[in-house]
Structure 1
Amino acid sequence: MEKGSVSIHFVAAALNGAMARGMEPASILRKAGIDPSLLHQPSARVPVQAHATLLRIVAQLLDDEFFGQDSRRMKVGSFALSCLLALEGGGDVGGALSLLCRAYNTIFDDLRVAVRRDGRRAALEIAPTRPGHRLPVFAVETLFVYMHGIACWLARRRIVIEEACFPYPEPAHGAEYFVLFSTQLRFSHDQCQLWFDAETLSLPVAQDRRSAKTFLNQAPENFLVKYRNPDGFGRRVANLLRRRPPPDWPGADEAAGLLRCSPATLRRMLRQEGTSYQAVKDRLRLDLARQALARPELSIADITAQLGFAEPAAFNRAFRQWTGTTPARYRRLNGLPP
């Protein structure tokens, strides 16, 4: 999500470790600027910044940047050291991720992570260290968000997840996975993997210790949104579009003119960042759609018009393509009337 919100399910999961130690959740939530009553509203969402603040508070309280999800703590500072170690991985993203996995496998007791290559595809993989041990859902979610976010940062581009496999049934907040991970999801799978184009592993590392300082200062908020290059054309296009309502969004050629470049240059620069003009528009529309769908007073027809679609059927097709589900089902999954 370019700008956006986080499901209350993730908020509740982040609190579990603190509650297991007898800490009172309401006071923690208030420190993060989150209304504790939202925990009882399944469809509630909180701003990304508030959730990031909550994660920092919980990590400090527990001295655990993995929030009590492993039998060994990921002590505060471990995440930064792991990222810095990854930069010593030999110059390409594959080498950096291999070093990151070694660092994580030193930190954690209950799980192991690896990079797997299979032909044209590669995967980030999580597996329990003990046969039959079930990893907490939030542990898988958190670690995959960490690892994918670091990979995108290392390459300085968004890495598309072609398929995401999880060893547990679809959770109640499964609709979030379409945005967080991929539209191609497999639950109750025998593996726990995020699959992507193997050529990504050969990309040069586009970061250094100086840029790492900025990256780490922005964590974990920068993991809760899809990676964006803060200086890139994708960000410039998104900022341009946000200044207008969706029905008034310009076409790609007009947008290029407004950004003082040729259409060919815009296409090339976006392609180098792993995106396209249409993809930027789709991400923004999806975020606006999810915000609107959380408001029960808005009908599907209302949302269709707000987003600039000609008819509800067109909105339904687009939303299904983006998320793998329909707007009505998305509402039902979040406890709202369709």
Structure 2
Amino acid sequence: MKEATFSVYITRGIVQFAAAKYGIDGDRLCQDVGIDPSLLKMPDQQIPGTLHSALWQEVVKRTDANFALHLGEAFNLATFGIVGYVLVNCQTYREVLEKLSRYTRLFSQGAYIHFSVADGFVFCDCDIVEDVKNYLLEQPRYAIESTFASLLTATPVLTGKPLLLQAVWFKYPRPDDISEYERIFATGLHFSMPTNRIIFDANCLNWSILSANPHLLTVFEQHAQTMLEAMNREDDYTRKVVQEIIKQLKGNLPPIEAVARNLAISVRQLQRELQAEGTSYQQLLDQTRKELALRYLQSPHTPIYDVAFLLGFSEPSAFHRAFKRWTGQTPKAYRALSG
């Protein structure tokens, strides 16, 4: 059975908070649970849930049972990667929850977030994925605690207002000591419930996001959507290479050597793996640039020369030639038709 994986953004957050708050040696902590410390420098990578389970258990053993709650209190959207960039540029809190639900899979394949509205309240659920090998089925507490506490921490940053909580549900049994839960959530706490859920006033959905920027939202969401589509592809190395290209394609073309290094594989072996999957690095680079170009050009506010730069073209004329080769149209003509 396939195992659920989790973003190194989560791993890094746990390790860095343990080091900053409790003085734990982060490298030693990683090594003790079987995680290569160098992975923390590659936060868009995914690691198996078994390693996350071992990390949670070890860090709680070395700190306290409420480590995950305290981690959530210290949550910073700036450390959340592309999903964080998407959220801070939404226009309303409803849109924040919609984007969070859509892109949860970029940082967790073991849980998904969704919400509904009824009788003046929002029911925001965090459900565990059951059709994969998933440590959260047996050990959900720390991930759920940190997720819910993070949402409470992020809301005032995004909106300038605290979330108007009505109740918080946890699917797992009541811990012996819930004083920290009571301090942080300050509302009705319920354990051994049918699902993990936060309930709050539906008026919160209309709150404006202080840092909203529709132009940047379009750019970052196009990036996130491309990453999500790459993650959904079945061919393992094709998916990984496309993800690396997207991450590294910021004004310069990523060489295959840099991609291979981040995937901890030799260039020759990577070429063989891609050949076995019926593709090549150059084909994936070309296709990824094309897909990103089509997405970027759908935003009328992004200048064509900025699109050319983002995709690693040395000058707009080179981008024009490539785009015409891809589509038979100029970027300007494509934008006019798609608008």
Greater C-alpha Rg? 2
TM-score clears 0.5: no
Could you state the TM-score of these two structures normalised by the residue count of structure 1? Answer: 0.41
Normalized per residue, which structure has more helix? Answer: 2
